[in-house]
Amino acid sequence: MKLRSGLLKLFFLSIPFSHFGSPIPLVNISLFILFVYFLISVQFIKFDFAYSKFARPINLLLVLYIILLTVSIVHYEPNTEYSMSILRHFPMYILLLFILSDAISNQLIGFYDISKYFLIGFSVLFFLFILGFDVSEVQGRQSVLGLNPNRLAFYANFAIILSINLLQNKRNRRLKIFLLFAIIIMGIYLNIVTASKGGFVGILLVVLVYYYFKNRSMIGKLANIIKGLMLASILILTFLSNDVLYDRIFETDTKYMDIRSVIWENALEIVSENILFGVGVFEYEVEFIDIMGKYHATHNEFISILVYTGIVGLLIFIAFLWELFKRANFVSKYENMPMFLSLLALIAFTLFKAGGSFVALYTWVIFSILLTSPMISYSKINS
């Protein structure tokens, strides 16, 4: 029991460093830790019972994968370089979703420990950045340990919302309150130096959603909206003090011009004749390279799913997100905890604008947290 719990804590601590490799090829360090946990735990998992708790959302994902695999085989094209990645990672992350959801719902790790160990890992990452350990800069955007700046900004936003939630515990000691405020400042600082547009919009979205749903009465909502807008205004002024971020948002320099709209137009053109079930991953890659000259991430996972699996697949994925929303909204309504709705808003926005986020570890970690949110009592979250 202690070993399994320890491995889960180590898993959440390792998430900010999940881009590092492991002894198993093509498996990052975080997935390797979870794989060891699964080998130890498989004898304890009552699969029929565990699966029944998450059957509907997981079934939706399994159907989506079957459609993706089938359409990709029907529209198979040889000599593709990137297409196998999603076919390989998708089922692996469905298994991850099941394993984490089972562990959280059976209280092998509580939400307090999830928050605690992720924040420890994030703090270590921040101090490595401050100490200049493997810090890089491209076009004025800084990062550390080879992390994509947008991913670093996402980790910062995740740390901020976890810290805001923990600050709501009135039993916090002064030292803990100080540390949580320090982590929020760290997150804001990393958002600024990464000059991430997604990080900038993401934190504003998180703050506004959190404060809007923090109180159910209209008077309370109005007061919280005012608080949220005041905090959002401070964040906007702080973020736009970074000239690079300002130029990227308002595209004042041609080197910061965004080609997402061109990519989206070409992607939609490719799928236009197979709009019902899509064209699969192989045909999309080949046709996209023919049009653009080289492969680009779509930078919108909703469009990616539409291209790969058509309207049918997109509706299935939206139904999955709706299942997560119902759970997050239940906790917000009956436990007055809007943090899960903030997390859902953050990950939905990230899926809308970040390339490769559908097969990113952090996406599925948040999916598992949202999936199990009604099973985590208020006392367990803030114990």
Return d(Cα 226, Cα 143) in angstroms, integer. 33
- CA dist 3 and 1 (Å) reads 5
Least Cα distance to 12 among 121, 105, 98, 108 occurs for 121
Give the contacts of 144 (CB within 8 A, at least 6 positions apart): 125, 128, 129, 133, 134, 135, 136, 152
* pLDDT of 38 strictly over 60: yes
Q: What is the pLDDT of residues 105-144, one digit of tens each?
A: 888 888 889 999 999 999 999 999 999 988 988 878 889 8
CB-count exposure of residue 161 (10 Å: 0-12, 13-18, 19+): buried
Q: Is the model's pLDDT at 314 over the cut of 90?
A: yes
> Can you read off the two tokens belonging to residue 333?
């309504």
Can you give the pLDDT at residue 60? 95
Domain positions in the chain: 46-381
Which amino acid is it at 347?
A: I
The pTM for the full model equals 0.90
Can you give the pLDDT at residue 46? 60
Give the pLDDT confidence of 77-97 residue by residue, as tens digits: 887 878 888 898 999 999 999
Please determine, for residue 311, whether its predicted confidence score (pLDDT) is greater than 90.
yes
Strands 135-138 and 141-144: antiparallel
Query: What's the pLDDT tens digit per position in 358-379?
Result: 989 999 999 999 999 887 644 3
- H or E element at residue 352: helix 339-353
